Amino acid sequence: MKKIGKQTFSIKDNVFVRDTYTIVGKKEGEGPLKDNFHMIVDDDLWGEDSWEKCELKFQKSAVEKLMEANNLQKSDIDLLIAGDLLNQITSSSFAARDLMLPYVGVYGACSTMALTMGLASLIIDGGFAENIICVTSSHFCSAERQYRLPLEMGGQRHMSAQWTVTGSGAVWLSKNGNGPRVRNVTFGKITDLGVKDANNMGAAMAPAAYDTLSQHLEDTGVDYDLIVTGDLGTIGKGIVNKMFNDDKKSIEKKYDDCGTIIYDIEKQDVHSGGSGCGCSATVFGSFLFKKLMNKEINKLLFTSTGALHSPTATLQGESIPGIAHSVGIEM
């Protein structure tokens, strides 16, 4: 059996994180990780005539640049697994249309990076593929238009709100080669404690992060050097720490969140921190991957978090369900 504990799948065969490629926008390029990203784009439209087309270009370019950097041909890639925040995951599907690779589109909101990597790891471990590229993206302007208020309306943002990362991260997983290995994958359960405020996604996602993290740690028993969640920001990160402390299982000394890593919270006007699919994707594909490759850390628990939020459902009085998926990676 490759399942251990209640929810975790143990990757028995080799699944290597071979390489990554990240592209971010201007605000992300001004943050503390500016020297880690592969490409920084100063124009929010990147020469396109809409933010949605720009996001598509981010995702497509991340995959193309990753393949070019590793001399990968289309015939080398067995599968592209991708997703994003927009309706019908159009950024992913339209990028896949242009890339002409076998494609599986998934929706996990901001948990998509870990979701795609987890699914790819199981497929490779099962012997169904040798090389899979996982990719996701988000864009501040397209996300605001879809989920909150169009920017043209000039709405005042709540202090609990987060700044959706403009960026895309692509990850190449392979059964061959070397580098960090995926060892365990935990797919989370939807957790919903009744948060209805679309301007406080950190609070909506934090219970799911706690649930998945605690289950993964219980199932595996691994003592990780670093535990990172996807985009809870300062509010959600604080809630997760409190939940673990209340449970007498503090992880505070080795825990951080991509939403507080990618921006300088004190100097950049991002309120509660970063969010979006591109948040965990770009932080993992740059900063965290380099930490593994440089052996600054040997064991990383990477957990992308997502708010399965629908503006329509919110207007009908529904709450915001949360989800989180964990990928245990060892150097």
With the C-alpha atoms ordered 111, 102, 130, 60, is the resulting torsion angle positive or negative?
negative
CATH class of 3-174: alpha beta
pLDDT for res 1? 83
pLDDT for res 194? 93
pLDDT for res 315? 86
pLDDT for res 157? 62
**Cβ proximity of 85 and 275 under 8 Å:** no
The superfamily CATH assigns to domain 182-330 is: Stage V sporulation protein AD (3.40.47.40)
Phi/psi at 59 (5° precision): -65, -45
Cα(114)–Cα(135) distance, integer angstroms: 10
Nearest residue to 65 via CA among 16, 23, 37: 23
Q: What pairs with residue 187 in β-bridges? A: 325
pTM: 0.95
Give the single-character DSSP code of 288.
Answer: I
Please measure the distance between the N-terminal and C-terminal CA atoms of the chain and give it in whole angstroms.
24
pLDDT for res 161? 73
Phi/psi at 139 (5° precision): -145, 130
Q: Two tokens at 249?
A: 């299982």
- Give the residue ranges of DSSP H helices in the chain: 26-29, 51-69, 90-99, 112-125, 140-147, 201-220, 233-246, 258-261, 277-283, 289-293, 311-315
- The position carrying tokens 């825990």 is 255
- The position carrying tokens 């015939």 is 75
Q: Two tokens at 139?
A: 């864009």
The CA–CA distances, whole Å, from 54 to 8, 41, 108, 216, 315 equal: 36, 11, 21, 36, 29
pLDDT for res 154? 59
CB under 8 Å to 284, separation ≥6 — which residues? 20, 113, 169, 171, 228, 258, 302
**Residue ranges of the chain whose pLDDT lies below 50:** none
Q: Two tokens at 305?
A: 């978090």
pLDDT for res 283? 98
**Cβ proximity of 139 and 275 under 8 Å:** no
With the C-alpha atoms ordered 290, 38, 167, 121, is the resulting torsion angle positive or negative?
negative
Neighbours of 266 (CB within 10 A): 5
pLDDT for res 132? 98
Cα(115)–Cα(187) distance, integer angstroms: 8
Nearest residue to 260 via CA among 243, 237, 281: 237
**At residue 106, what is the residue type?**
V
Sorted by where each begins, the domain ranges of the chain are 3-174, 182-330
Give the single-character DSSP code of 191.
Answer: B
Q: Two tokens at 84?
A: 């994003």
Q: Regarding beta strands 8-10 and 3-4, do their DSSP bridges make them parallel or antiparallel, or are they unpaired?
A: antiparallel
The SS3 call for residue 75 is helix
pLDDT for res 309? 87
Phi/psi at 76 (5° precision): -80, -20
pLDDT for res 160? 60
